[in-house]
């Protein structure tokens, strides 16, 4: 009779150990799944926003202003009207001299994956 109890206790202990090992394995699987999903999303984001075609476009300055903050200091912006009719706000370097009605050259970048358009200031047109 004592052998039966001992075997029963050993099988209960083995079942508990197996259950703990399964739970630990499941935790690691969840962690690895989350890391893998994050890497996939990050890679798709980098590829989607980094590849594309860049061209130079000309636009007219319609307004300009500056914005000051303690963290970033003073930043200068212009608002331009594109030839396509769109309006874009761009940050410009502090030393750039620009006034209303001036023509500026912008870099227009279109991404391949989502066809998003991004503009950046290049220079004032002469």
What are the C-alpha distances in Å from 115 to residues 3, 14, 44, 87? 74, 58, 14, 18
**In the chain, % of residues over pLDDT 70:** 90
| Alpha-carbon gap, residue 60 to 42, rounded angstroms | 36
Q: Which domain holds residue 71?
A: 53-124
pLDDT band at 115 (very low <50, low <70, confident <90, very high): confident
Instruction: Count how many domains the chain has.
Output: 2
Q: Say if residue 118 is in the same domain as residue 81.
A: yes
Q: Say if residue 66 is in the same domain as residue 120.
A: yes
Q: Say if residue 114 is in the same domain as residue 63.
A: yes
Does the pLDDT value for residue 125 go beyond 90? no
Q: Say if residue 38 is in the same domain as residue 71.
A: no
Domain containing residue 95: CATH number: 2.40.50.140
Q: Say if residue 77 is in the same domain as residue 120.
A: yes
Q: Say if residue 46 is in the same domain as residue 62.
A: no
Q: Model confidence over 41-93: pLDDT tens digits? A: 998 888 777 777 889 999 999 998 888 888 878 899 999 999 888 899 999 99
Q: Say if residue 77 is in the same domain as residue 117.
A: yes
């Amino acid at each position: 009779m004592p052998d039966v109890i001992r075997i029963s206790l050993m099988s209960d202990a083995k079942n508990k150990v197996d259950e703990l090992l399964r739970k630990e394995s499941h935790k690691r699987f969840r962690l690895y799944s989350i890391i893998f999903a994050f890497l996939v999303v990050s890679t798709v984001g980098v590829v989607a926003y980094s590849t594309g075609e860049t061209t130079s476009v000309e636009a007219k300055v319609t307004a300009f202003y500056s914005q000051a903050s303690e963290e970033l200091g003073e930043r200068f912006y212009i608002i331009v009207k594109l030839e396509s009719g769109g309006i874009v706000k761009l940050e410009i370097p502090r030393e750039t001299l620009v006034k209303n009605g001036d023509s500026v050259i912008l870099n227009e970048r279109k991404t391949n994956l989502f066809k998003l358009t991004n503009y950046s200031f290049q220079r004032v047109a002469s």
